[in-house]
Amino acid sequence: MSDRRLLLPSLILVAAGAGWLGGQFSTQPGSPLADVLVAPARAAGLPAAVDGQPLPSLAPMLERVMPAVVNVYTASRVQVRPSPFMDDPFFRHFFGIPDMPRERVERSLGSGVIVDAGRGLVVTNHHVIEAADDISVTLADGRTLVAERVGADPATDIAVIRIPAEGLVALPLAQREPLRVGDFVVAVGNPFGLGQTVTSGIVSALGRGGLDGRGVQNFIQTDASINPGNSGGALVNLRGELVGINTAIYSRSGDSAGIGFAIPSTLTASVLDQLVEQGAVRRGSLGVEVQDLDAALAASLGAATGAGVAVTRIQAGGTAARAGVQVGDVITALNGTPVRSGRELRALEGMLPGGGEVALVVLRDGRERRLAGALVSALTALVGDTADRRLAGAEFTPVPERLAARGVRGALASAVAAESPAGRAGLRRGDVVLQVNGTDLDDLEALRAALVRAPAVLSLTILRGNRLYKVDLTG
């Protein structure tokens, strides 16, 4: 099974693309299964009008939307490690065994959305193309084209690919009105490789987070049916505007249970611009560790419960330190957006582009203060200019509470670009850096200090799953 599942309490979070269930569905258009499933059904049709009034229909809107939604197919070549005996030509000759293949090809599927017809830019999910050696795109009109990778951002699960085609149709991003809970939405994608499929529902919630194993979390939740293969597809409003990129579901079975998640188009647009211009996303970092306010802590700090987060640690040289934030301050707003929990602050922080200014509202000694400062990039705030080259493409966050409770200390690699120096050296998203050149790390600040004083060659001891590994980085 090539779907990526993240175990949750009694549930499964499924990245709704990049594969098929049990290998039962062909990824190729025109397969026998697809032919059977698209056979015309014999059913009575609805009348065109009732009491002289035409029935409402989404068809006119979908006629504009569907040409902009594409099917994404990927192929990955995986090295096969045969038995040592199979490597011996004498052994193969003696027993009449033919040469064994050295690799196998794994195929997966997903969806994408054309966002720039002139440049052939298609947005999809990072997990759809993450391991792909070859990417192809099938348009609504049946054309299949080879796509090239433009850039990807693991933290938001957004990727951009480019196709060389004329006569494309792009989907506009919703900008006129903010999305609200209860708004009707329509999901368009390629579930199970069946081809373009439309489902409808409403916005169930906004700003969803807390999904274990994900990066920047500010999801739209919808009950529009989303299944494996829908990843990277479009979530649109009734005007046919893109409001989100479908990315994951909650499910006990792996199929749609009416709880799907989409990346908001506002976040998608910000990531898209950086990926097209720079090939990667350069984020800003506040450089703080915070704690949610319970009743006792809120009372001691002169704040209301749930109306901010308490600062417990400040990173030297980081954005917050430069802006004048102090330990014990309660951050209540970031760039005009209220902050009610550490999760909300991390989601807002993850959307901050590198450079520019940041505005904070904090409570200190019961009085509100407004602070501002230059936004420091996540990498610079963490490792300093000396180590940027060695860990370029990697971002780090504190060790999750579930690991800290087991006594794990160090820094979590929350995002690692595969094509970056850190990615090529073998560092992966989800790795926990425990040591630098044999020195134990307590936290993010310890990693920063170790990297600044380390020699040209860095030997990282990392925890990946339940195993320890070594990753060597050179300057």
Q: For residues 82 and 91, is the Cβ–Cβ distance under 8 A?
A: no
31 counts as catalytic: no
Element of type H or E holding 449: helix 444-453
| Cα separation, 160 vs 270, whole angstroms | 12
| Cα separation, 458 vs 53, whole angstroms | 73
Contacts of 250 (CB under 8 A, 6+ apart): 8, 11, 12, 13, 257, 259, 260, 261
256 counts as catalytic: no
Chain-centre distance for alpha carbon 53: 45
Beta-bridge partners for 288: 314
Contacts of 244 (CB under 8 A, 6+ apart): 185, 220, 222, 234, 235, 262, 263, 264, 265, 268
Q: For residues 271 and 158, is the Cβ–Cβ distance under 8 A?
A: yes
255 counts as catalytic: no
What count of Cα atoms within 13 Å lies in the side-chain half-sphere of residue 443? 10
- The two tokens of residue 169 are 């149709």
- The two tokens of residue 154 are 């693991």
Q: Degrees (nearest 5) of the Cα angle 470, 472, 475?
A: 160
Q: Which amino acid is at 205?
A: A
Q: For residues 242 and 261, is the Cβ–Cβ distance under 8 A?
A: no
Of 225, 231, 285, 414, catalytic: 231
Distances (CA, A) of 316 to 287, 325, 354, 445: 8, 11, 18, 8
Of 157, 223, 329, 431, catalytic: 157
Look at residues 455, 401, 293, 266 and name the one whose alpha carbon lies nearest to residue 347.
266
Look at residues 301, 372, 303, 305 and name the one whose alpha carbon lies nearest to residue 336.
372
Distances (CA, A) of 368 to 321, 331, 362: 18, 10, 6
Q: For residues 228 and 19, is the Cβ–Cβ distance under 8 A?
A: yes
Q: How far apart are the first and last CA of the chain?
A: 38
| Cα separation, 240 vs 223, whole angstroms | 18
Beta-bridge partners for 12: 7, 251
- The two tokens of residue 34 are 């697809």
Q: Between helices 378-388 and 444-453, what is the axis angle to 10°? A: 20
Of 127, 204, 251, 270, catalytic: 127
* Catalytically annotated residues: 127, 157, 231
